[in-house]
């Protein structure tokens, strides 16, 4: 049975991704910054008939928390097949480049960028024990510098001084990581689930969590011939789903 850890999985897109992967027969670690909330989520999922799901406490901004989570997975499973770095925050609103404080920007980067690096580096040796390791970093269309430079893009006017740049940085890090792991069976990609109606954005997005999670699962459960170092977006309206960087 393949094992997957999803950070920030006790609600919204992360939760739905956990459900869909459980249905596909994977053992799912539901990562939650608050263990009690994670365990309550798992209790509800179990009551709904989902199997092989376990809550695990992991705060991506806390190295001690990450190390503890890594130790638990190693003891229980001996390896990790899939890491989905889903935890993220939006930050203060509005986010103007002229006035958003460095501290507010740093707080977003701590979770969305440095948090991903913290978790990835901690779990890398467990992923290397898998026959088909996968790392999916959940990004946003707002991380695309190419689209942000196109006045015709439908979200051209949605500019953020913290959130978007944190995802651009994540995209760049993913390219480097995929390159470094290219000789191993890793597939490392960034996946934008699209503008989805969630608590994250006050349910303003047009997409559903089911569609968002399905897109993540599709581009995570790839075979040995699957792409690596790619940027997929559920908002790209063609069959490839590939977004410009």
| Residues 79-118 pLDDT 10s | 999 999 999 999 999 999 999 999 999 999 999 999 999 9
CB contact at 8 A, 245 and 204: no
217: part of which helix (H) or strand (E)?
helix 209-218
- Count CB-CB contacts under 10 A for residue 202: 10
Of residues 2, 19, 70, 167, which has the active-site annotation? 167
Query: What is the band of 227 on the pLDDT scale with cuts at 50, 70, 90?
Result: very high
Q: Distance from CA of residue 64 to its chain's centroid?
A: 20
Residues 183-190, mean pLDDT to the nearest whole number: 98
In sequence order, what DSSP letters do the residues of 95-123 get, joined into one string?
--TTTS-HHHHHHHHIIIIIHHHHHHHHH
Q: Out of 29, 163, 173, 195, which one is annotated catalytic? A: 163
DSSP H stretches of helix in 133-202: 145-148, 163-180
Q: Which tens digits make up the pLDDT trace of 139-174?
A: 999 999 999 999 999 999 999 999 999 999 999 999
167 given a catalytic annotation: yes
Confidence class for position 199, pLDDT limits 50, 70, 90: low
Q: How far apart are CA 23 and CA 4, in angstroms?
A: 13
Q: Give the model's confidence band at 207: pLDDT under 50 very low, under 70 low, under 90 confident, else very high.
A: confident
**Stated pTM of the model:** 0.96
Stretch 42-59: mean pLDDT: 97
Q: Using alpha carbons, list the distances in angstroms from residue 209 to 135, 202, 215, 216.
A: 20, 13, 10, 11
CA distance 26 to 44: 18
Question: What share of the chain in percent tops pLDDT 70?
Answer: 97
Q: How confident is the model at residue 204 (pLDDT cuts 50, 70, 90)?
A: low
């Amino acid at each position: 049975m393949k094992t997957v850890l999803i950070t920030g999985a006790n609600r919204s897109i992360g939760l739905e991704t956990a459900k869909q992967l459980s249905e596909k027969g994977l053992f799912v670690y539901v990562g939650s910054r608050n263990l009690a909330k994670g365990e309550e989520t798992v209790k509800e999922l179990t009551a709904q008939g989902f199997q092989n799901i376990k809550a695990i406490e992991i705060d991506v901004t806390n190295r001690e928390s990450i190390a503890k989570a890594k130790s638990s997975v190693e003891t229980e499973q001996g390896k990790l097949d899939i890491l989905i770095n889903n935890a993220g925050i939006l930050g203060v609103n509005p986010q103007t480049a002229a006035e958003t404080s460095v501290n507010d920007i740093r707080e977003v980067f701590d979770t969305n960028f440095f948090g991903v690096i913290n978790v990835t580096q901690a779990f890398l040796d467990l992923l290397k024990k898998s026959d088909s390791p996968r790392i999916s970093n959940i990004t946003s269309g707002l991380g695309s510098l190419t689209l942000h430079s196109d006045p015709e893009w439908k979200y051209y006017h949605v500019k953020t001084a913290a959130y978007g740049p944190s995802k651009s940085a994540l995209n760049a890090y993913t390219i480097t990581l995929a390159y470094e792991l290219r000789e191993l069976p890793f597939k490392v990609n960034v996946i934008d689930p699209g503008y989805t109606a969630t608590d994250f954005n006050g349910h303003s997005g047009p997409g559903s969590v089911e569609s968002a999670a399905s897109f993540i699962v599709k581009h995570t459960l790839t075979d040995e011939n699957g792409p690596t170092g790619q940027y997929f977006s559920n908002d790209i309206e063609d069959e490839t789903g590939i977004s410009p960087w």
